Structure 1
Amino acid sequence: MELRQSNPWPDLFRDTQRSAFHMEVRDSYGVPGESEPLRRFLSGEARSEEPDESWQAWASLVRGCTARGVTVSRIRVVTVPHSDYQRWLLTETRDNIDAGEDIRYLPRHLVGADQVPADDFWLFDDAAVAFNLVDAEGKPAGAGITTDPSIAAYCRRSKERLWSLATPFDKYDDPAETYPR
C-alpha cells in the first residue's frame, strides 16, 4: 500500500478512465473548509452564496471527469436520526449532484454491520482503492492506495451489494418517515 499524505485526489481523478466511486461510512468528518458552513447551518444562518475555493476545485475535478465520460458516484451510509454533520451535508449535496455526482443514501440500520465496510474508500476503475485517512480529530490526512486485486474485489462487492439498497439523493427526503424504526 502506498501512503500519500498530501492531496492525492486530483492525480487519482485525472488518471481515472471509467469510474470513481466513494463509499462513505462515517457520520461526521473534520474537513477544515467545512467547519464554518457547518457552524452557520447549526446557528440557523443563511448559506453563503459564494462557494469556497476548495469546493470550486472539487466541482471542477468532478466536471472534468464526467466530461471525459467518467462516472462519479458515492454511497453515504448514515445513522438515522442524522448527526448534525449529516443534516448539514444533506443541504449541500445538491451542489455535488449539479457537479455531476450520483449520490445515494443508505440508513445504517437497514443493513447488517458485517455488510458495511469499516473504512471510507474511493474505488477507481474498479481496480485501484484509495482509503481515506483521517487524523485523531477526523481531519483528512491523505490516502492509502492499493491495486491489490483482492482488496479491489472486496470494495467492488461492497459497492455492488449496497448500491441497490441505497436511495438516490432526489428520493431521500425524510428518512424518519421513509425508514421508520
Structure 2
Amino acid sequence: MRLFTGDAFDDLFRTFSRTAFHLEVQDTYETPEESEPLKLFLEGKPDDFGWHQSWLQLVEEATSVGRSVTRARVVTVPHVDYTRWGLTVAELNIAAGEDIRWLPRHHAEGIDLPPDDFWLFDDERVVFTVFEPSGQFVGGAETTDRHIVERCRSVHQQVWQRAVPHAAYVAT
C-alpha cells in the first residue's frame, strides 16, 4: 500500500476521472481540527467554517467539471453529538457539490461493512483513511488489489442503495 499525506492526499481529489465515493463507518471522529467547531456546535455558538474551506474548494473543483463526489455515512440511532453536528456541516458539503446519504446502522444488516473508512476512486482504487490513535488524520493508504477493490465496490453499491439522501434523512 502507498500512503498519501498532505498535498498528495488532496491531489487524489484533483486527479480522479469520474467518481470519488467515501464510506464513513465510525460514529465519532476526534480529529483536532474538528474539536473546536464541534464544541461551538454543542454550545450553540456560531462557526465561520474556516477550518472546512479547503475541503469545500476541492469538492467544488471536482464537481464543477462534471466529476462526482459522493459520501455515505453509516450512523447509530439515536445519533451521537458528532452525527448531529455532521448533519449540519453536511449542508456545506452539499452546497459545494457533494452528494451525501445516511444509513442507520440497523439498516445495514447483511452488508459486510469494513472496519475502516475508505475512498473508492473511479471504481479502480481504494484509499483507506488513516488516523493516529490521538484522532489526528494521517492520510490515505491506497490499494489497487482487485479483490479489495471489488469488495469495496460491492459495499458501495449495497450501502448506496439503502442509504437515504440527506434532505430526506433530515426531514425524518
What band does the TM-score fall into relative to the shorter chain?
Answer: over 0.9
Deviation for aligned residue 1:113: 6.5
* Counterpart pick for 2:145 among 145, 148, 153: 148
Q: Does 1:99 align with 2:92?
A: no
Distance (Å, rounded) in 2 between the aligned partners of 1:90 and 1:41: 11
Equivalent positions of 1:19-38 (< 5 A) are: 19-38=19-38
Aligned length: 172
Aligned residues with identical type, % of pairs: 47
Gaps of 5+ in 2: none
TM-score, normalization by structure 2: 0.93
Asked whether the 8 Å contact 1:7–1:142 carries over to 2, the reply is: no
Deviation for aligned residue 1:61: 0.6
Aligned residue number for residue 123 of structure 1: 120
CA RMSD of aligned residues (A): 1.5
Equivalent positions of 1:41-80 (< 5 A) are: 41-45=41-45, 47-48=46-47, 50-52=48-50, 54-80=51-77
Distance (Å, rounded) in 1 between the aligned partners of 2:75 and 2:7: 25
Give the ranges of 4+ consecutive aligned residues of structure 1 lying more than 3 Å apart after TM superposition: 5-8
Distance (Å, rounded) in 1 between the aligned partners of 2:26 and 2:7: 20
**What SS does the corresponding residue of 1:164 show, helix, strand or coil?**
helix
Distance verdict in 2 for CA 1:113–1:27, change over 3 Å: farther
TM-score, normalization by structure 1: 0.89
Residue type of the alignment partner of 2:9: W
Aligned residue number for residue 39 of structure 1: 39
Aligned residue number for residue 156 of structure 2: 159
Deviation for aligned residue 1:7: 4.6
Distance (Å, rounded) in 2 between the aligned partners of 1:56 and 1:32: 16
Asked whether the 8 Å contact 2:118–2:126 carries over to 1, the reply is: yes
Distance (Å, rounded) in 1 between the aligned partners of 2:15 and 2:145: 17
